[in-house]
Amino acid sequence: MHIKEKLADLHAHLEQYTPAEREEVLTRANSVGVRWIVTAGMDLQSSAHAVKIATAHKQVLASVGIHPWVAAETDLRDLTDKIRYLALDNTATVVAISEVGLDFVDNAFTGVSYHNNENLREAQERIFRQQVDLACELALPLIIHCRGAYSTLISILQEERAYRVRGVIHNFDGDKKTADQLLNMGFYLSFGGAITYPTATTLQKIVCHVPLDRILIETDSPYMPLYLQLDEKNEPANVVQIARTLAKIIKVDSEEFIDISYTNFKTLLKIAMRDEN
Protein backbone atom coordinates (compact mmCIF):
# COMPACT_ATOMS: atom_id res chain seq x y z
CA MET A 1 0.00 0.00 0.00
CA HIS A 2 1.40 3.38 -0.99
CA ILE A 3 0.66 6.29 1.33
CA LYS A 4 1.29 9.89 0.39
CA GLU A 5 1.24 12.35 3.30
CA LYS A 6 -1.95 11.07 4.89
CA LEU A 7 -0.68 10.01 8.31
CA ALA A 8 -0.46 11.95 11.55
CA ASP A 9 1.20 10.93 14.81
CA LEU A 10 -0.81 12.57 17.57
CA HIS A 11 1.71 12.15 20.35
CA ALA A 12 5.49 11.82 20.47
CA HIS A 13 8.44 13.08 22.50
CA LEU A 14 10.92 14.14 19.85
CA GLU A 15 13.17 15.87 22.39
CA GLN A 16 14.16 12.41 23.64
CA TYR A 17 16.21 11.78 20.49
CA THR A 18 19.63 13.26 19.91
CA PRO A 19 19.63 15.95 17.19
CA ALA A 20 21.18 13.49 14.72
CA GLU A 21 18.68 10.76 15.63
CA ARG A 22 15.81 13.23 15.32
CA GLU A 23 16.72 14.18 11.77
CA GLU A 24 16.85 10.50 10.77
CA VAL A 25 13.56 9.79 12.56
CA LEU A 26 11.82 12.67 10.77
CA THR A 27 13.22 11.60 7.41
CA ARG A 28 11.92 8.05 7.89
CA ALA A 29 8.54 9.37 9.00
CA ASN A 30 8.28 11.54 5.92
CA SER A 31 9.23 8.62 3.66
CA VAL A 32 6.18 6.59 4.81
CA GLY A 33 3.74 9.49 4.53
CA VAL A 34 3.66 10.98 8.02
CA ARG A 35 2.56 14.56 7.33
CA TRP A 36 2.24 15.73 10.93
CA ILE A 37 3.82 14.82 14.28
CA VAL A 38 2.81 16.46 17.54
CA THR A 39 5.70 16.56 19.98
CA ALA A 40 4.56 16.96 23.56
CA GLY A 41 5.88 18.89 26.52
CA MET A 42 5.91 17.47 30.04
CA ASP A 43 7.17 20.54 31.91
CA LEU A 44 8.32 24.04 31.01
CA GLN A 45 11.71 22.96 29.65
CA SER A 46 10.40 20.15 27.43
CA SER A 47 7.48 22.32 26.31
CA ALA A 48 9.90 25.02 25.20
CA HIS A 49 11.97 22.34 23.47
CA ALA A 50 8.84 21.07 21.69
CA VAL A 51 8.20 24.57 20.37
CA LYS A 52 11.83 24.86 19.22
CA ILE A 53 11.65 21.55 17.34
CA ALA A 54 8.31 22.45 15.75
CA THR A 55 9.64 25.83 14.66
CA ALA A 56 12.58 24.15 12.96
CA HIS A 57 10.62 21.38 11.18
CA LYS A 58 7.57 22.00 9.04
CA GLN A 59 6.09 18.53 9.70
CA VAL A 60 6.19 18.99 13.50
CA LEU A 61 3.61 20.69 15.72
CA ALA A 62 3.98 21.35 19.45
CA SER A 63 1.87 20.83 22.52
CA VAL A 64 2.76 22.41 25.85
CA GLY A 65 1.74 21.45 29.36
CA ILE A 66 2.52 19.92 32.75
CA HIS A 67 2.59 16.13 33.00
CA PRO A 68 0.92 14.60 36.10
CA TRP A 69 4.25 13.13 37.23
CA VAL A 70 5.70 16.64 37.21
CA ALA A 71 2.58 18.04 38.87
CA ALA A 72 2.91 15.56 41.71
CA GLU A 73 6.60 15.94 42.44
CA THR A 74 7.71 19.46 41.50
CA ASP A 75 7.45 22.97 42.93
CA LEU A 76 5.02 24.49 40.42
CA ARG A 77 4.89 28.12 41.45
CA ASP A 78 3.89 30.23 38.43
CA LEU A 79 4.44 27.28 36.07
CA THR A 80 0.95 27.37 34.55
CA ASP A 81 1.41 31.07 33.79
CA LYS A 82 4.72 30.31 32.09
CA ILE A 83 3.06 27.61 29.98
CA ARG A 84 0.35 30.16 29.06
CA TYR A 85 2.93 32.70 27.86
CA LEU A 86 4.80 30.02 25.93
CA ALA A 87 1.61 29.07 24.09
CA LEU A 88 0.61 32.67 23.43
CA ASP A 89 4.06 33.53 22.09
CA ASN A 90 4.08 30.56 19.71
CA THR A 91 0.62 30.31 18.18
CA ALA A 92 2.11 29.27 14.84
CA THR A 93 3.33 25.97 16.29
CA VAL A 94 1.38 25.23 19.49
CA VAL A 95 -1.80 23.27 18.74
CA ALA A 96 -2.74 21.69 22.09
CA ILE A 97 -2.26 21.67 25.85
CA SER A 98 -0.37 18.47 26.63
CA GLU A 99 0.85 16.27 28.10
CA VAL A 100 -1.55 16.81 30.99
CA GLY A 101 -3.85 14.62 33.04
CA LEU A 102 -3.86 12.25 36.00
CA ASP A 103 -1.77 9.23 36.95
CA PHE A 104 -2.82 7.41 40.12
CA VAL A 105 -0.45 4.48 39.49
CA ASP A 106 3.22 5.52 39.55
CA ASN A 107 6.00 7.49 37.90
CA ALA A 108 7.61 5.13 35.40
CA PHE A 109 10.88 7.07 35.58
CA THR A 110 11.32 7.64 39.34
CA GLY A 111 9.28 4.72 40.70
CA VAL A 112 7.28 6.99 42.99
CA SER A 113 3.86 5.43 43.69
CA TYR A 114 0.70 7.53 43.68
CA HIS A 115 -1.66 4.68 44.51
CA ASN A 116 -2.11 5.51 48.19
CA ASN A 117 -0.56 8.98 48.32
CA GLU A 118 -3.45 11.42 48.70
CA ASN A 119 -1.24 14.52 48.73
CA LEU A 120 0.43 13.70 45.42
CA ARG A 121 -2.90 12.82 43.83
CA GLU A 122 -4.44 16.09 45.02
CA ALA A 123 -1.47 18.00 43.58
CA GLN A 124 -2.10 16.34 40.21
CA GLU A 125 -5.80 17.18 40.34
CA ARG A 126 -5.12 20.83 41.19
CA ILE A 127 -2.67 21.31 38.33
CA PHE A 128 -4.85 19.40 35.89
CA ARG A 129 -7.76 21.73 36.64
CA GLN A 130 -5.46 24.66 35.89
CA GLN A 131 -4.44 23.08 32.60
CA VAL A 132 -8.07 22.48 31.60
CA ASP A 133 -8.86 26.11 32.40
CA LEU A 134 -5.85 27.20 30.37
CA ALA A 135 -6.95 25.11 27.39
CA CYS A 136 -10.39 26.70 27.53
CA GLU A 137 -8.89 30.17 27.85
CA LEU A 138 -6.67 29.64 24.81
CA ALA A 139 -9.23 27.60 22.84
CA LEU A 140 -6.77 24.73 22.48
CA PRO A 141 -7.72 21.04 22.76
CA LEU A 142 -6.35 18.81 25.51
CA ILE A 143 -4.18 15.74 24.93
CA ILE A 144 -4.60 13.78 28.13
CA HIS A 145 -2.57 11.16 29.97
CA CYS A 146 -4.63 8.96 32.28
CA ARG A 147 -3.65 5.85 34.26
CA GLY A 148 -5.79 4.41 37.03
CA ALA A 149 -7.77 7.62 37.38
CA TYR A 150 -10.59 7.64 34.83
CA SER A 151 -13.38 8.24 37.34
CA THR A 152 -11.66 11.32 38.76
CA LEU A 153 -10.63 12.46 35.29
CA ILE A 154 -14.19 12.39 33.98
CA SER A 155 -15.47 14.27 37.03
CA ILE A 156 -12.89 17.02 36.55
CA LEU A 157 -13.59 17.29 32.82
CA GLN A 158 -17.30 17.68 33.58
CA GLU A 159 -16.79 20.16 36.43
CA GLU A 160 -14.37 22.30 34.42
CA ARG A 161 -16.61 22.16 31.31
CA ALA A 162 -13.85 20.75 29.16
CA TYR A 163 -16.41 20.09 26.42
CA ARG A 164 -15.76 23.71 25.42
CA VAL A 165 -12.47 22.66 23.80
CA ARG A 166 -12.70 18.86 23.87
CA GLY A 167 -9.57 16.81 23.38
CA VAL A 168 -8.28 13.26 23.26
CA ILE A 169 -7.13 10.59 25.67
CA HIS A 170 -3.73 9.45 24.49
CA ASN A 171 -2.98 5.71 24.67
CA PHE A 172 -6.50 5.03 25.88
CA ASP A 173 -6.69 1.91 28.06
CA GLY A 174 -10.02 2.28 29.85
CA ASP A 175 -13.11 0.09 29.69
CA LYS A 176 -16.14 0.43 27.42
CA LYS A 177 -18.15 2.42 29.98
CA THR A 178 -15.31 4.92 30.30
CA ALA A 179 -14.95 5.13 26.53
CA ASP A 180 -18.67 5.86 26.17
CA GLN A 181 -18.54 8.58 28.84
CA LEU A 182 -15.63 10.32 27.14
CA LEU A 183 -17.17 10.00 23.69
CA ASN A 184 -20.41 11.48 25.00
CA MET A 185 -18.42 14.49 26.19
CA GLY A 186 -17.08 15.01 22.67
CA PHE A 187 -13.62 13.56 23.29
CA TYR A 188 -11.56 11.42 20.94
CA LEU A 189 -9.65 8.27 21.87
CA SER A 190 -6.12 7.62 20.63
CA PHE A 191 -4.46 4.24 20.29
CA GLY A 192 -0.79 3.36 19.99
CA GLY A 193 1.58 0.43 20.20
CA ALA A 194 -0.42 -1.41 22.87
CA ILE A 195 -3.19 -2.19 20.36
CA THR A 196 -0.73 -4.24 18.24
CA TYR A 197 -0.19 -6.91 20.91
CA PRO A 198 -2.18 -10.16 20.48
CA THR A 199 -2.82 -10.17 24.23
CA ALA A 200 -4.63 -6.79 24.06
CA THR A 201 -7.95 -8.50 23.34
CA THR A 202 -10.04 -6.33 25.66
CA LEU A 203 -8.70 -3.12 24.16
CA GLN A 204 -9.21 -4.49 20.66
CA LYS A 205 -12.86 -5.24 21.45
CA ILE A 206 -13.38 -1.73 22.82
CA VAL A 207 -11.91 -0.02 19.75
CA CYS A 208 -14.49 -1.80 17.59
CA HIS A 209 -17.20 0.14 19.44
CA VAL A 210 -15.57 3.55 18.96
CA PRO A 211 -16.99 5.57 16.04
CA LEU A 212 -14.46 5.90 13.25
CA ASP A 213 -14.70 9.68 13.39
CA ARG A 214 -13.42 9.65 16.99
CA ILE A 215 -10.28 7.55 16.60
CA LEU A 216 -6.76 8.95 16.49
CA ILE A 217 -3.41 7.20 16.25
CA GLU A 218 -0.04 7.80 17.89
CA THR A 219 3.31 6.25 18.70
CA ASP A 220 4.29 7.98 21.98
CA SER A 221 7.81 7.73 20.57
CA PRO A 222 10.40 6.83 21.66
CA TYR A 223 8.31 4.87 24.16
CA MET A 224 5.48 2.29 23.80
CA PRO A 225 7.09 -0.18 21.37
CA LEU A 226 4.93 -2.15 18.97
CA TYR A 227 4.54 -5.92 19.07
CA LEU A 228 7.66 -7.61 17.65
CA GLN A 229 9.34 -4.24 17.15
CA LEU A 230 13.05 -4.84 16.53
CA ASP A 231 14.44 -1.39 17.27
CA GLU A 232 14.93 -0.35 20.89
CA LYS A 233 13.26 3.03 20.36
CA ASN A 234 9.82 3.54 18.88
CA GLU A 235 9.46 6.27 16.26
CA PRO A 236 6.73 8.14 14.33
CA ALA A 237 7.22 6.09 11.13
CA ASN A 238 5.68 3.17 13.03
CA VAL A 239 2.33 4.93 13.10
CA VAL A 240 1.62 3.29 9.74
CA GLN A 241 1.77 -0.14 11.39
CA ILE A 242 -0.58 1.01 14.13
CA ALA A 243 -3.00 2.31 11.50
CA ARG A 244 -2.91 -0.97 9.60
CA THR A 245 -3.45 -2.98 12.78
CA LEU A 246 -6.44 -0.86 13.78
CA ALA A 247 -7.95 -1.13 10.30
CA LYS A 248 -7.65 -4.90 10.47
CA ILE A 249 -9.23 -5.03 13.95
CA ILE A 250 -12.12 -2.75 12.93
CA LYS A 251 -12.45 -4.52 9.57
CA VAL A 252 -12.16 -1.48 7.32
CA ASP A 253 -9.88 -0.81 4.37
CA SER A 254 -6.48 0.50 5.52
CA GLU A 255 -6.47 3.50 3.21
CA GLU A 256 -9.99 4.41 4.28
CA PHE A 257 -9.02 4.22 7.95
CA ILE A 258 -5.88 6.29 7.42
CA ASP A 259 -7.91 8.93 5.57
CA ILE A 260 -10.53 9.08 8.35
CA SER A 261 -8.01 9.24 11.18
CA TYR A 262 -6.11 11.96 9.34
CA THR A 263 -9.30 13.98 8.97
CA ASN A 264 -10.00 13.47 12.69
CA PHE A 265 -6.54 14.79 13.52
CA LYS A 266 -7.02 17.92 11.42
CA THR A 267 -10.49 18.51 12.86
CA LEU A 268 -9.47 18.24 16.52
CA LEU A 269 -6.30 20.30 16.18
CA LYS A 270 -7.83 22.76 13.71
CA ILE A 271 -5.00 22.56 11.21
CA ALA A 272 -6.88 22.52 7.91
CA MET A 273 -5.30 25.80 6.83
CA ARG A 274 -1.81 24.57 7.77
CA ASP A 275 -2.33 21.46 5.67
CA GLU A 276 -2.87 23.56 2.58
CA ASN A 277 0.49 25.24 2.93
The pLDDT value given to residue 5: 61
Q: Are strands 167-169 and 188-191 parallel, antiparallel or unpaired?
A: parallel
Asked if residue 23 belongs to a domain, the reply is yes
Looking at the 3D structure of the chain, how many domains does it have?
A: 1
Q: What is the DSSP string of 109-156?
A: TT--B-TT-HHHHHHHHHHHHHHHHHHHHHT--EEEEEES-HHHHHHH
**Closest C-alpha among 146, 170, 189 to residue 39:** 170
Residue 159, domain extent: 7-275
- The answer to whether the CB of 114 falls within 8 A of the CB of 106 is yes
Q: What pLDDT does residue 1 have?
A: 45
* 96 belongs to a structural domain: yes
2 found inside a domain: no
Q: What is the rounded distance in angstroms from the CA atom of residue 23 to the CA atom of residue 32?
A: 15
Asked whether residue 241 is domain-assigned, the answer is yes
The domain that holds 41 is classified in CATH as: 3.20.20.140
Residue 41 and residue 64 in contact, taking contact as beta carbons nearer than 8 Å: yes
pLDDT in tens, the chain (277 residues): 445 568 999 999 999 999 999 999 999 999 999 999 999 999 999 999 999 999 999 999 999 999 999 988 777 778 889 999 999 999 999 999 999 999 998 888 888 889 888 999 999 999 999 999 999 999 999 999 999 999 999 999 999 999 999 999 999 999 999 999 999 999 999 999 999 999 999 999 999 999 999 999 999 999 999 999 888 899 999 999 999 999 999 999 999 999 999 999 999 999 865 655 5
Residue 1 lies in a domain: no
Q: Catalogue the E-assigned strands of 183-267.
A: 188-191, 215-217
The pLDDT of residue 68 is: 94
